Amino acid sequence: MNPTPGSPDAALTAAAEAARTAYARARAAHDRATLAEAVAEGADGTPTMRIDRIVEDAVLRALEPHHVNILSEESGWIDKGSEVSLVIDPLDGSANGAAGVPLTAFAGAVAIAGEFTEAYTVWLDTGRSWWAHREVPTPYRTSGRTELAGAALSLLRPHTSVPGPAAAWWAAASRAARVRILSTTCLEAALVAEGAIDAFADACSDTHRLVDLAAAAVMVTRAGGAVLDVRGRPLEFDTDLTRRWSGVVAATPQLGRELAETLRTAADTATAGS
Domain holding 213: CATH number? 3.40.190.80
**What angle do helix axes 185-193 and 210-222 make, rounded to 10 degrees?**
10
> Which residue range is the domain that position 39 belongs to?
10-133
Given this model, what pLDDT does residue 160 score? 66
- When divided into structural domains, the chain yields a total of 2
**SS3 sequence, the chain?**
CCCCCCCCCHHHHHHHHHHHHHHHHHHHHCCHHHHHCEEEECCCCCEEEHHHHHHHHHHHHHHHHHCCEEEECCCEEECCCCCEEEEEEEEECHHHHHHCCCCCEEEEEEEECCEEEEEEEEECCCCCEEEEECCCCCCCCCCCCCCCCCCEEEECCCCCCCHHHHHHHHHHHCCCCEEECCCCHHHHHHHHHCCCCCEEECCCCCCECHHHHHHHHHHHHHCCCEEEECCCCCCCCCCCCCCCECEEEECCHHHHHHHHHHHHHHHHHHHHHC
CA distance 230 to 244: 11
Q: Which of 192, 205, 201 is nearest to 244 (CA)?
A: 205
Query: Where does a domain end: 74, 100, 133?
Result: 133
Q: Residue 39 above 80 pLDDT?
A: yes
Given this model, what pLDDT does residue 44 score? 83
Given this model, what pLDDT does residue 161 score? 75
Whether residue 66 is found in the same domain as residue 180: no
52 — pLDDT class (breaks 50, 70, 90): very high
pTM score above 0.85: yes
Q: For 139-154, how does the pLDDT look when each residue is reduced to its tens digit (9 = 90+)? A: 999 999 999 999 999 9
Whether residue 175 is found in the same domain as residue 263: yes
Whether residue 254 is found in the same domain as residue 192: yes
Whether residue 212 is found in the same domain as residue 110: no
CA distances from 69 to 92, 97, 107, 189, 259 (A): 20, 27, 16, 24, 34
Average pLDDT for 37-42: 93
Tell me how far the alpha carbon of residue 200 is from its chain's centroid: 10
Whether residue 259 is found in the same domain as residue 204: yes
Q: Residue 3 above 60 pLDDT?
A: no
Size (the chain), residues: 274
Q: For 235-256, how does the pLDDT look when each residue is reduced to its tens digit (9 = 90+)? A: 999 999 999 999 999 999 999 9
Q: Residue 229 above 70 pLDDT?
A: yes
| Residue 1: inside a domain | no
Whether residue 188 is found in the same domain as residue 256: yes
Q: Residue 109 above 70 pLDDT?
A: yes
**Binding-site residues, please?**
73, 89, 91-92, 212
Whether residue 261 is found in the same domain as residue 192: yes
Q: Residue 207 above 80 pLDDT?
A: yes
Choice between 123 and 46, residue whose per-residue pLDDT is larger: 123
Whether residue 125 is found in the same domain as residue 157: no
Query: Where does a domain end: 77, 106, 133?
Result: 133
Q: Which of 150, 227, 148, 158 is nearest to 186 (CA)?
A: 227
CA distances from 230 to 189, 191, 260, 267 (A): 16, 20, 5, 10
CATH of the domain at 58: 3.30.540.10
Whether residue 128 is found in the same domain as residue 19: yes
Whether residue 78 is found in the same domain as residue 156: no
**Binding-site residues for Mg(2+), please?**
73, 89, 91-92, 212
